[in-house]
Chain A
Amino acid sequence: MEEDKKWKERAKIRKRKRLKREEQQDQEEGGQKRGQRRGQSHPEMEEKTEEEEARRGGGEEDRERRRRSRKIERTTRMKRRKRRQRRRKRQRKRTKSPEELERLKEAVDERKKLITTLRGKPWPMRKKLESQLFVEKYEGALGKGRGRKLYAYKVMMRKKWMKFERDLENFKTACIPWEMKIKEIESHFGSSVASYFIFLRWMYGINMILFSLTFGLVMVPEALMGRPYGSIPRKTVPREEQASAMDFAVLWDWGGYAKYSVLFYGYYNNQRAVGWLKFRMPLSYFLVGVGTVAYSYMVVIRTMARNAKEDGGGDDTSFNFSWKIFTSWDYLIGNPETADNKFASITTSFKEAIVEEQESRKDDNIHLTRFLRVLANFLVLCCLAGSGYLIYFVVRRSQKFALEGLDNYGWWERNEVNMVMSLLGMFCPMLFDVISALENYHPRIALQWQLGRIFALFLGNLYTFIIALMDQINLKRAEEEIVKFNMTAWQANLYNGTIPENSTAPPITVDPADVPRGPCWETMVGQEFVRLIISDTMTTYITLLIGDFLRAVLVRFLNHCWCWDLEYGFPSYSEFDVSGNVLGLIFNQGMIWMGAFYAPCLPALNLLRLHVSMYLQCWAVMCCNVPQERVFKASGSNNFYMAMLLVILFLSTLPAIYTIVSIPPSFDCGPFSGKSRMFDVIQETLESDFPAWFGKVFSYASNPGLVLPFLLLMVLAIYYLHSTSKTYKHANLELKKKLQAVSEELIIFMSLPHLSSRGRHHFSKDSRDSRHSSTSHPVVQGYRNGRGSALSHSQIPPSTRPPAPRVHRYQPGPLPGHPGQPASRKQDSSLSSRSR
Chain B
Amino acid sequence: MGNKQSTFRDDQLDEYQDCTFFTSKEILRLHGRFRDLAPNVVPLDYTNNPDVTLPSSLIITMPELKENPFRYRILETFSEDGEGNLTFYDFVDLFSVLSETAPLDLKIIYAFRIYDFNRDGFLCLEDVEETVHRLTGEELRVEERRLVARRVMEEADLDGDGKLSLIDFQNMISRAPDFISTFHIRI
A-side residues, CB < 8 A to B, are 115, 118-122, 124-126, 128-129, 132, 163, 166-167, 169-171, 173-174, 179, 182-183, 186-187, 191, 195, 310-313, 316, 318-323, 325-336, 338-339, 343, 346-347, 350-351, 353-354, 357, 633, 636-638, 739, 742-743, 746-747, 750, 768, 771-775, 780, 784, 801, 804-807, 809-810, 836
Residues of chain A within 8 A of B118, CB atoms compared: none
Interface-centre pick from A119, A124, A171 (highest chain B CB count, 10 A): A119
Closest residue on chain A to residue B181 by CB atoms: A191
**Given contacts A124-B93, A183-B186, A310-B180, are A743 and B19 in contact (CB under 8 A)?**
no
For this complex, 11 residue pairs linking A to B, each with C-beta atoms less than 8 Å apart, are A119-B19, A120-B103, A124-B89, A183-B186, A187-B64, A319-B175, A327-B182, A328-B178, A329-B182, A346-B135, A638-B177
6 extra A-B contacts, CB within 8 A, seeds A173-B25, A174-B25, A801-B120: A119-B20, A312-B175, A325-B131, A637-B177, A743-B157, A747-B160
Knowing A325-B132, A354-B144, say if A119 contacts B18 (CB, 8 Å): yes
Instruction: Identify the 5 closest CB pairs spanning chains A and B, nearest first.
Output: A772-B162, A125-B89, A339-B67, A746-B160, A170-B23
* Given A329-B70, A346-B135, A768 and B158 contact (CB-CB distance below 8 Å): no
By the criterion CB–CB under 8 Å, are B158 and A743 in contact? yes
**In the assembled complex, which residues on chain B have CB atoms less than 8 Å from the CB atom of A327?**
173, 176, 178-179, 182-183
- Of all chain A residues, which has the CB nearest B131? A325
- Chain B residues with CB under 8 Å of A166's CB are 14, 17, 23-24
Binary flags per residue of B22-51, CB closer than 8 Å to A gives 1, else 0? 011110000000000000000000000000
B52 located at the interface, meaning its Cβ lies under 8 Å from any Cβ of chain A in the complex? no
**B-chain residues with CB within 8 Å of residue A638 when the two chains form the complex:** 177
CB pair A124 B184 closer than 8 Å: no
Whether the Cβ atoms of B166 and A771 lie closer than 8 Å is: no
**What residues on B are CB-neighbors of A810 within 8 Å?**
158
CB-CB nearest in chain A for B2: A167
Residue of B nearest to A809 (CB): B159
A171 CA to B169 CA in the complex, in Å? 37
Q: Which of B20, B67, B155 interacts with A319 by CB under 8 Å?
A: B155
A772-B153, A774-B162 known; A347-B136 Cβ under 8 A? yes
Is B142 part of the binding interface, using a Cβ–Cβ cutoff of 8 Å? Answer: no
B125 at the interface (CB under 8 A from A): yes
B residues lining the A interface (CB < 8 Å): 1, 14-15, 17-21, 23-26, 63-64, 66-70, 78, 80, 89-90, 92-93, 96, 98, 102-106, 109-111, 115, 120-121, 124-125, 128, 131-132, 135-137, 139-140, 144, 147-148, 150-163, 165-167, 169, 172-186
The docked-state distance in angstroms from the alpha carbon of A122 to that of B172 is 19
Which residues of B sit under 8 angstroms from A122, Cβ to Cβ? 106, 109-110
Q: Which of B124, B160, B179 has the most CB of A within 10 A?
A: B160
- Please, how many angstroms separate the alpha-carbon atoms of A807 and B139 in the complex? 38
A357 touches B136 (CB 8 A): no
A120-B20 Cα distance, complex, nearest whole Å: 8
Q: Are the CB atoms of B177 and A771 closer together than 8 Å? A: no
Docked Cα-Cα span, A126 to B161, in Å, equals 35
User: Which listed residue (A119, A174, A332) contacts B186, Cβ 8 A?
Assistant: A332
CB < 8 Å neighbour of A321 from B14, B89, B124, B152: B152
Give the nearest-CB partner of A173 in chain B: B23
| B156 & A132 in contact (Cβ 8 Å cutoff) | no
Closest residue on chain B to residue A740 by CB atoms: B158
Q: How far is the CB of B143 from chain A (nearest CB, A)?
A: 10
Q: A125-B19, A322-B155 are in contact. Are A347 and B161 (CB under 8 A)?
A: no
Q: Which residues of A contact B18 (CB under 8 A)?
A: 115, 118-119, 132
Taken together as a complex, chains A and B put the C-alpha atoms of A256 and B66 apart, in Å, by 59
B186 to chain A: closest residue by CB = A183
Interface of B, secondary structure class, is helix
- Bound: A119/B23 CA distance, A: 12
Distance of A721 from chain B, by nearest CB (Å) = 23
Q: A119-B96, A326-B111 are in contact. Are A771 and B155 (CB under 8 A)?
A: no
Q: Which single residue of chain A is at the shortest CB-CB distance from B93?
A: A125
Q: Which of A129, A326, A746 contacts B131 (CB 8 A)?
A: A326
Q: How far is the CB of A312 from chain B (nearest CB, A)?
A: 5
Quick one: given A312-B174, A326-B179, are A187 and B161 in contact (CB under 8 Å)?
Answer: no
Pair A322/B156 contact, Cβ less than 8 Å: yes
CB closest chain-A residue, reference B94: A125
Asked if A768 meets B140 with Cβ closer than 8 Å, knowing A174-B25, A775-B163, A806-B159, the reply is no
A747 to B155, CA, bound (A): 13
Contact between A331 and B160 (Cβ–Cβ < 8 Å)?
Answer: no
Query: Of B1, B90, B93, B182, which is within 8 A of A191 by CB?
Result: B182
Q: Given A125-B19, A331-B184, A771-B160, do A326 and B176 touch, yes or no (CB 8 Å)?
A: yes
Distance of A322 Cα from B152 Cα, bound (Å)? 5
In the complex the two chains form, is A331's CB within 8 Å of B98's CB? Answer: yes
B24 proximity list for chain A (CB < 8 A): 166, 170
> Do the beta carbons of B160 and A191 come within 8 Å of each other?
no
A507–B9 Cα distance when bound, in Å, is 77
Which chain B residues lie closer than 8 Å to A191 at the CB level?
Answer: 181-182, 184
B78 neighbours in A (Cβ, 8 Å):
124
* Closest chain B residue, CB of each to CB of A133: B15
Residues of B within 8 A of A780 (CB): 160-161
Which residues does chain A contribute within 8 Å of B158, judged by CB atoms? 739, 742-743, 810
CA distance in complex: A167, B157 (Å): 45
Query: Shortest beta-carbon distance, B3 to chain A, in Å?
Result: 11
A279 CB, min distance to chain B CBs, angstroms? 37
